[in-house]
Chain A
Amino acid sequence: MVAQRGEGGMPKVSKISEAVIRIAGNSQDGIQAIGGFLARLAGRSAQEVMTFMTIPSTISGGPSIFQVRIGSGEVLSAGDDADVLLAFYQHSYEEHIESLKQGGIVLYDSDHVEPKAEWQQQYHHVGIPISTLTIEAIGGTAKDKGKNIFALGLVGRIFDLDVAKLEALIGERFGGKDVSVLNNALAAFQAGYNFSVGNVLETFKFVDSKGKDGRQVVMNGNEALAYGLIAAGVRFGAAYPITPWSDVMEILRRELPKYGGTFVQCEDEIAAISMANGASFAGRVAVTGSSGPGISLKMESLGWAVMAEVPLVVINVQRGGPSTGLPTQVEQSDLNLACFGSHGDAPRVVLAPADVEECFYTAIEAVNIARKYNVPVFVLSDQSIATRIEAFTEPNMEKVCQDITPDLTPVADYKPYDLSSPDGVTPRVVPGTRIMSGRYPIAGGLEHDELGHPTASPKLHMEMTAKRRKKLQALAATLPTPKVYGPPEGNLLLVGWGSTQGPIREAVDRARAGGDSVSALHIKYLNPLPPGLEDIFSGFNAIRVVEINDEGLYGYGQLAGLLRARYCELKIRGINKTDGLNWKVKEILERAQTAINPSQRKQ
């Protein structure tokens, strides 16, 4: 996508199938708002979209960017390099100009940005006095507020976007406020759209995308998790706010009462998981969630849920660590915590969705696994999936929504920790259910007998430990083997989990287009691991686990460590980084280069 002036000064119109637009400004400039409009417009136009943003963790002020990648075809990642950079300030221009492809377009606010000569050779510079023109268009009573919408108009004109749909999105966003706010926004948009940028720049038009089978919904990962939990029948949640989990909490807090549910903001993280444990003990499946620091706090209570065999869903939206870490940056360094955190042998289930659509369905799956196996289930999301916007086919709500109200019909007798069940799974009888034998169960953290009463019997501790472990083994036997992306045998297998799926798959596509033998495997079930992985691993010469966490003391990251321990496979090595940003496709390819050696291609 290289900009050129057309013949005779008339703007050229080029057809494109995708575009990456990076908007760079300061926090509170409304960058996320216009990025969000572009993403939602794409979703409503049956296109694919993925976004990526960075915000400072400073309460107010500081640089912020929002990148949108829109495609008529498949969009797997938020894009390595941008086609268009919209820069509002000098620092936005200087820090992000090199994120542009060669010959890419930089649209800058000439009121604030002084372009540099050496970059003017490499990138197509278009300077527009955005701030001044915005003030002219809407009166300037609020300084240059609204310049983001003016810029949206410019982008709309350059990409020949659907004006009616964009104005509808603006209306939805500002409609609830004073009518002058909406009018100013629309005026700014029109001013930007009608600015004669078309005369200095060619315009681009997306080719029609393949029709989608059904309407698309557009949302970010946190929203998908929250709505998935509600659809799964969760009616009680308790949590404490922490970036980047807070959005899930805000949605649950607002929505659960509409379904007769309750959400409580507790005094701290430990109270939150304790409340959730109590509500789960009382009959349904409760949810709690946090990010790194809060999950660390919850560990003792999690151990109780494992020992007492109470269903619980714990969401961890991972962020940079350790300790307070990088609150607004992505990392995948809580895998070990999720799998092994808490003292003693405390097996629990860990799932990790790979994209926004999976967040919705994995939430439902987590609730159902918790209910069936009476075990806490971790769902590992991260800041990248949580905040990026994607479009996916609207779920069939009739089929997907569940009612998990407990059955309180009286039973004859009940042993909560019945050792006679072969796979360790005991169906639950909850408070409110009359037990005719008169023997009632106690749920507790002490090692216990079949009725829940404390015991230090050596035999019982071994049997109960085995029961808790057997439940996960029973679950593992039902899990599907993940499918390899690309041929099932080859030279290099790139393994990943969570938000790295897109860039890894794009890396595979690019490498294969260049003649290399590379495939990818993405694992959603992290504890227990699904069956069949050893057969997949044996089909490749080299295996690299791509993760956003440290390579550790021995040169491999957290999932790599789990796989090596499980399969004793020394060819499993790591590709790691901890810069707080998701992987770029070219970074993966560069790092994998040593492993993609054509002379080692399997026969």
Chain B
Amino acid sequence: MTAPVIEIPSPKASLLVSPPSTDRKPLTKKEIAADHPTWCPGCGDFSVLALYFKMIEKRKLWQEKFTTISGIGCSSRFPYFVQAYGAHYIHGRSLPFASGISLSRPDLHVFVFGGDGDLFSIGGNHFTHTARKNIKLTCVAMDNWV
């Protein structure tokens, strides 16, 4: 069997910044934040979330244009803290799930958040294969050494 050929949209398309429309103001932190995070005080995950919000503001992403995907673990609570489309999938399999979104909807941005167990342990196989397939998505690994 030969390897499947996957059409990858051109890089220019991925730098999509939604055209500013007159009736929509850029998202504020208040609009983009959802549930209060349930992490322990002092956890590094808070700063990752803060950076995510900052990136959304700076890139002027609209809420319906991106998806926040995670597996299982501390870091995997991410989607609930973000006011946008998201999915909380099963342990270790968030990368193929996110790949399915990216491949069938090239118009959406896909962000995957996971921990070391989710991405490198049970998800280790999917991690290497998603990298090999070079899917258009952003994966943030939050390693807590557990």
Chain A residues near B (Cβ < 8 Å): 235-236, 238, 241, 253, 262-268, 270-272, 274-284, 286, 300-301, 304, 308, 431-435, 438-446, 453-454
Segment 51-100 of B: residues with Cβ below 8 Å from A: 62-65, 67, 69, 79-80, 83-90, 93, 96-100
Q: Does B125 contact A (CB under 8 A)?
A: yes
- In the complex, the answer to whether A431 meets B101 with C-beta atoms within 8 Å is yes
Q: How far is the CB of B86 from chain A (nearest CB, A)?
A: 5
Which one of A263, A268, A279, A441 contacts B101 once the chains associate, using CB atoms below 8 Å?
Answer: A279
Give A265's nearest chain B residue, CB to CB.
B4
Q: Is the interface of B mostly helix, strand, loop or mixed?
A: mixed
- In the complex, the answer to whether B62 meets A308 with C-beta atoms within 8 Å is no
Q: Does B129 contact A (CB under 8 A)?
A: yes
**Given A265-B4, A278-B87, 9 additional A-B pairs, CB 8 A:** A262-B104, A274-B89, A277-B100, A278-B99, A281-B87, A282-B100, A301-B90, A438-B83, A440-B86
- In the complex, the answer to whether B89 meets A282 with C-beta atoms within 8 Å is no
User: Known contacts being A236-B100, A301-B93, is A241 close to B1, with CB within 8 Å?
Assistant: yes
- In the complex, the answer to whether A432 meets B87 with C-beta atoms within 8 Å is no
Give B103's nearest chain A residue, CB to CB.
A262
- In the complex, the answer to whether A274 meets B96 with C-beta atoms within 8 Å is yes
Q: How far is the CB of A428 from chain B (nearest CB, A)?
A: 12
Cβ–Cβ < 8 Å partners of A272 in chain B: 96
- In the complex, the answer to whether A278 meets B100 with C-beta atoms within 8 Å is yes
Q: Does B6 contact A (CB under 8 A)?
A: yes
Give A266's nearest chain B residue, CB to CB.
B96
B contact residues, range:
35 or more
Q: Does B12 contact A (CB under 8 A)?
A: no
**Most chain B C-beta atoms within 10 Å of own C-beta, residue among A308, A444, A446:** A444
User: Known contacts being A274-B93, A301-B90, A445-B88, is A440 close to B83, with CB within 8 Å?
Assistant: yes
- In the complex, the answer to whether A432 meets B99 with C-beta atoms within 8 Å is no
Cβ–Cβ < 8 Å partners of B62 in chain A: 434
**Most chain B C-beta atoms within 10 Å of own C-beta, residue among A235, A236, A241, A267:** A267
Cβ–Cβ < 8 Å partners of B104 in chain A: 235-236, 262, 278-279, 282-284, 286
When chains A and B are docked, how far (Å) is the Cα of A262 from the Cα of B103? 8
Which one of A262, A267, A274 contacts B97 once the chains associate, using CB atoms below 8 Å?
Answer: A274
When chains A and B are docked, how far (Å) is the Cα of A263 from the Cα of B104? 10
- In the complex, the answer to whether A440 meets B84 with C-beta atoms within 8 Å is yes
When chains A and B are docked, how far (Å) is the Cα of A238 from the Cα of B101? 12
Q: How far is the CB of B76 from chain A (nearest CB, A)?
A: 10
Closest 6 CB pairs of A and B: A278-B100, A444-B88, A275-B100, A274-B96, A279-B100, A278-B97
- In the complex, the answer to whether B125 meets A443 with C-beta atoms within 8 Å is no
- In the complex, the answer to whether B105 meets A434 with C-beta atoms within 8 Å is no
**Most chain A C-beta atoms within 10 Å of own C-beta, residue among B34, B69, B101, B129:** B101
When chains A and B are docked, how far (Å) is the Cα of A23 from the Cα of B141? 59
User: Known contacts being A434-B62, A443-B88, A453-B35, is A278 close to B96, with CB within 8 Å?
Assistant: yes
Give A300's nearest chain B residue, CB to CB.
B90
User: Known contacts being A441-B85, A442-B80, A453-B80, is A271 close to B93, with CB within 8 Å?
Assistant: yes
- In the complex, the answer to whether B103 meets A439 with C-beta atoms within 8 Å is no
Cβ–Cβ < 8 Å partners of B64 in chain A: 431-435, 440
Cβ–Cβ < 8 Å partners of B108 in chain A: 282, 431-432
**Most chain A C-beta atoms within 10 Å of own C-beta, residue among B1, B79, B86, B104:** B104
When chains A and B are docked, how far (Å) is the Cα of A300 from the Cα of B129? 20
